[in-house]
Amino acid sequence: MDNRDAGAGKYVWKFVCPSDEFLDGTPEMYSNFLAFIGYEKYINCGLNVCEPFGNCTRIILYFDGVFYIRAMINKQEILGEVLKGLMRRYQERVPDVSAILEVMRTEGLIQSPADIENDHIAFRSLGVPHLGIASLEKIFLHLGYTRRDPYSFPAKKLNAWWYAPPEPGLPRIFLSELRVQDLPEASQEIIQRYTDAIISDPVDELDLNNAAVIDQFLHSSNWAVPSWEDYHALAAVSEYAAWAIYNRYYLNHFTISVQNLPEGYNTVASFNIFLEKHGFILNDSGSKIKTSPDGLLLQSSTVARMVEAEFAGGRKVFIPGSYVEFAERRVLPAYAHLPTAAIRREHRREGFEAGNADKIFESTFTSQTDRRS
């Protein structure tokens, strides 16, 4: 297979037509046939290319007696589908998502959920060979994301990177991984019992031009469902490890941008008051508002709700699921003079902050989730 970019956000995927019968006809025959079923013909670089109408993405072309099928794929469309799939399952699993969207709507902050800007989404992973950030990031790099800055969390034994989206309207991505080799021997052994069978990067096996394939991968497992005993033993050492081995690549959180909400709700401080008035419980590790040293990135998050997990052998136990985050990105001093209407994403504080993130991770830790009961 030969993959290459065709520019302008389009992706060309080319392979020799697998069907021998295509090799029998003349170019004219196929041209006429394709025109008959609605394809438009034009000549490009000496190749006869049949450009499909509308949203149809398959192109058949012939050159020098060899036939190719070309799928012209818009990466943005694939990314849109992948994000939709992630959000759908996340919303099903995290009742706070729909509940927050509903109170935002009934109180007139938004007309519909589509009005919300998603600041970022986050995934967790296990840093073992063939998994972790180096594996997971391939999906998002392929779909147009750019790797930006790394973060280190020595006490929690975690690494992270953030990724900028191909377009400003799309969420940033925060990927973290557990430094498995830094855990005590016994915890490493537990994790390896699940992951040792993975001898190559599973993302390398995926057709990354197929949204359904990516969606399926992100919501299925590369390793066996853990036993309660293993989950419990890992949680005693690293609650992140326990979360990741059970929940895998389920979305850890999405993040409501507050700075563009109506006056009175457009700061994390005021939005927190709104959330608490409606009964949502916020992570108070450090403090409810996590503020970067430059004062320009403020974040808060709900405490993850417990979800019923079924462990190997059928034992069912409630464990921390996913949560919702809120972010306020203030205008950079260099753009302080701009009128509000002229402020766009590039005028605001970018990236993340290790000090904030360190506390936000605890949204799924029992020190926080116990506060719900």
d(Cα 86, Cα 166) in Å, to the nearest integer? Answer: 18
Q: Which residues contact 332 (CB under 8 A, 6 or more apart)?
A: 296, 347, 348, 349
240: exposed, middle or buried (C-beta count within 10 Å: 0-12, 13-18, 19+)?
buried
Shortest-Cβ-distance residue relative to ligand OOG: 357
| Contact call for residue 325 and Ni ion (CB under 5 A) | yes
Cβ count within 10 A of residue 323: 25
**CB 360, min distance to ligand OOG, A:** 4
Taking the least distance from each CB to ligand OOG, the nearer of 52 and 132 is: 132
Taking the least distance from each CB to Ni ion, the nearer of 135 and 255 is: 255
**CB 353, min distance to Ni ion, A:** 10
Tokens 């969420």 belong to 171
Among 62-70, 134-142, 163-171, 323-331, which window interacts with Ni ion (CB under 5 A)? 323-331
Among 4-12, 121-129, 212-220, 239-247, which window interacts with Ni ion (CB under 5 A)? 121-129
d(Cα 139, Cα 79) in Å, to the nearest integer? Answer: 10
Taking the least distance from each CB to ligand OOG, the nearer of 135 and 363 is: 363
Tokens 């450090």 belong to 286
Among 25-33, 47-55, 120-128, 180-188, which window interacts with Ni ion (CB under 5 A)? 120-128
Taking the least distance from each CB to ligand OOG, the nearer of 50 and 175 is: 175
d(Cα 121, Cα 363) in Å, to the nearest integer? Answer: 14
- One symbol per residue from 79 to 118: x for binding Ni ion (CB under 5 A), - otherwise; what is it? ----------------------------------------
Among 32-40, 94-102, 270-278, 318-326, which window interacts with Ni ion (CB under 5 A)? 318-326
> Sheet harboring 47-51: ordered strands across?
2-5, 10-16, 66-74, 58-63, 47-51, 40-44
Among 29-37, 80-88, 278-286, 317-325, which window interacts with Ni ion (CB under 5 A)? 317-325
134: left (phi over 0), alpha (psi -120 to 50) or beta: alpha
Binding site for ligand OOG (CB under 6 A): 122, 124, 174, 176, 252, 299, 325, 352, 356-357, 360-361, 363
Helices 211-218 and 75-93 pack at an angle, to 10 degrees, of 30
d(Cα 50, Cα 28) in Å, to the nearest integer? Answer: 12
From the list ligand OOG, Ni ion, none, pick the one residue 352 interacts with, judged by a Cβ distance below 5 to 8 Å according to partner type.
ligand OOG
Taking the least distance from each CB to ligand OOG, the nearer of 175 and 211 is: 175
Binding site for Ni ion (CB under 5 A): 122, 325
